[in-house]
Amino acid sequence: MRNRGTAWEAGALCVVLAARALGGMAGSAHDFTASGWSRGAGCGVCHAFHSTDAPAAGTPAWSREFSNVAYTLYTSTTLDATPGQPTHYGSKLCLSCHDGVTALDTFGGQRGSTYIHGKARIGTDLRATHPIGIIYDGALAHADRGLFDPNTKRIPTGETITNGLLFGTGNLECASCHDVHDRLGNPKLLRIRNNGSALCRTCHRM
Ligand code: HEC
Ligand code: HEC
Ligand code: HEC
Ligand code: HEC
């Protein structure tokens, strides 16, 4: 996944993507049009259009506030990577709804009071969630031995893991496994269906 350069580029992309993404998003778990809290904003629940805030370089434009909490991070004695507090938008944006701290309807400069609930509420304890906020590169694969080299292993689209699932120079984030726009219509918004653990086996040699 390449970083996007300018706000203009992001805007132009939105036009292109809207044509495809509306098909995918309509009726998906992230189609909020039927929820009163979304104020009919559509893409604007997450993205800012015509915003006065310029997006940070290389990131799409957001309309959401990020949660300002300290998460309990994944830990284990066998982990080689070192998870840090989520700083990348590929996780932070998700957590701005899924941690249950920021209201769903806090966007576009307005504060709301409707919180995520049920199984979709991940909370702030990330120990039960796959590690995120880690760099998955050739060196990690080499150290771990149970991981494929992300620069050479291909995913079903033909891209390498690095280009197809990771952000920037190898960030593994929530959006590495989930397509927030549900373009493929897979269960749980997954980028790769997990039948026979196919998603897990994309990266793990098992
Ligand atoms: C639930 C939140 C959410 C909604 C709703 C949403 N997006 Fe996104 N969008 C994201 C996140 C998170 C990313 C960054 C992660 C990624 O690219 O997978 C992103 C990235 C993007 C990007 C840049 C990266 C790419 O995939 O090309 C574009 C363009 C975009 N969205 C357009 C749209 C459009 C158009 C809509 C409405 C049809 C929409 N989004 C609705 C959350 C959302
Ligand atoms: C604007 C708030 C918001 C943002 C931002 C957001 N989500 Fe969600 N997401 C929701 C809500 C609300 C639901 C539950 C929908 C329901 O229960 O019908 C949901 C459901 C899901 C589901 C369950 C889908 C299913 O089929 O059961 C997954 C997986 C998910 N989100 C992942 C993500 C990821 C990953 C990101 C970031 C890339 C993200 N979400 C960003 C609000 C959000
Ligand atoms: C390594 C891949 C991977 C990463 C990273 C990941 N998930 Fe998931 N997630 C999955 C899979 C696979 C499932 C489906 C599990 C199942 O069906 O039992 C899932 C399920 C979910 C669900 C639905 C829960 C339910 O029971 O309906 C939500 C919401 C979700 N993830 C959000 C997130 C968020 C937010 C992050 C980042 C903090 C994240 N995921 C990171 C693979 C991942
Ligand atoms: C995009 C690549 C990718 C995908 C897809 C993926 N993983 Fe991982 N996984 C990693 C990386 C990288 C690590 C960090 C390994 C390390 O540092 O030891 C990791 C770590 C883990 C760990 C923690 C290992 C430990 O030593 O504590 C578990 C458990 C795990 N993954 C299970 C899964 C499962 C189950 C799935 C499928 C739902 C999955 N992974 C999908 C890349 C991936």
The whole-number pLDDT of residue 109 equals 85
Q: What is the mean pLDDT of residues 146-159?
A: 97
Q: Name the CA dihedral angle for 200, 203, 204, 206, rounded to a multiple of 10 degrees.
A: 80
Closest C-alpha to 206, from 142, 130, 127, 145: 145
Average model confidence (pLDDT) for the chain? Answer: 87
pLDDT band of 7, cuts 50, 70, 90: very low
Place of tokens 């219509």: 185
Q: 57 Cβ partners below 8 Å, 6+ apart?
A: 5
Residue scoring higher pLDDT (167 or 24): 167
Which residue type, as a one-letter code, is found at position 90?
Answer: G
Which of 73, 142, 200 most suits a substitution to test ligand 4, by most atoms within 8 Å of the C-beta?
200
Distance CA 22, CA 16 (A): 11
Ligand 1 atom with minimal separation from the 25 CA:
38
pTM, entire model: 0.93
- Distance of alpha carbon 192 from alpha carbon 109, whole angstroms: 34
- Residue 87 and residue 159: Cα distance in Å, rounded? 25
Query: Measured in angstroms, how far is the CA atom of residue 28 from the centroid of ligand 2?
Result: 9
Q: Taking the chain, what is the end-to-end CA distance rounded to the nearest angstrom?
A: 25
Place of tokens 């920037």: 168
Q: Which segment of 46-55, 61-70, 77-86, 146-155 scores lowest on mean pLDDT?
A: 46-55
C-alpha of residue 203 to centroid of ligand 4, in Å: 7
Q: Looking at ligand 2, which atom is closest to the CA of residue 178? A: 35
Closest Cα to atom 41, ligand 3: which residue? 174
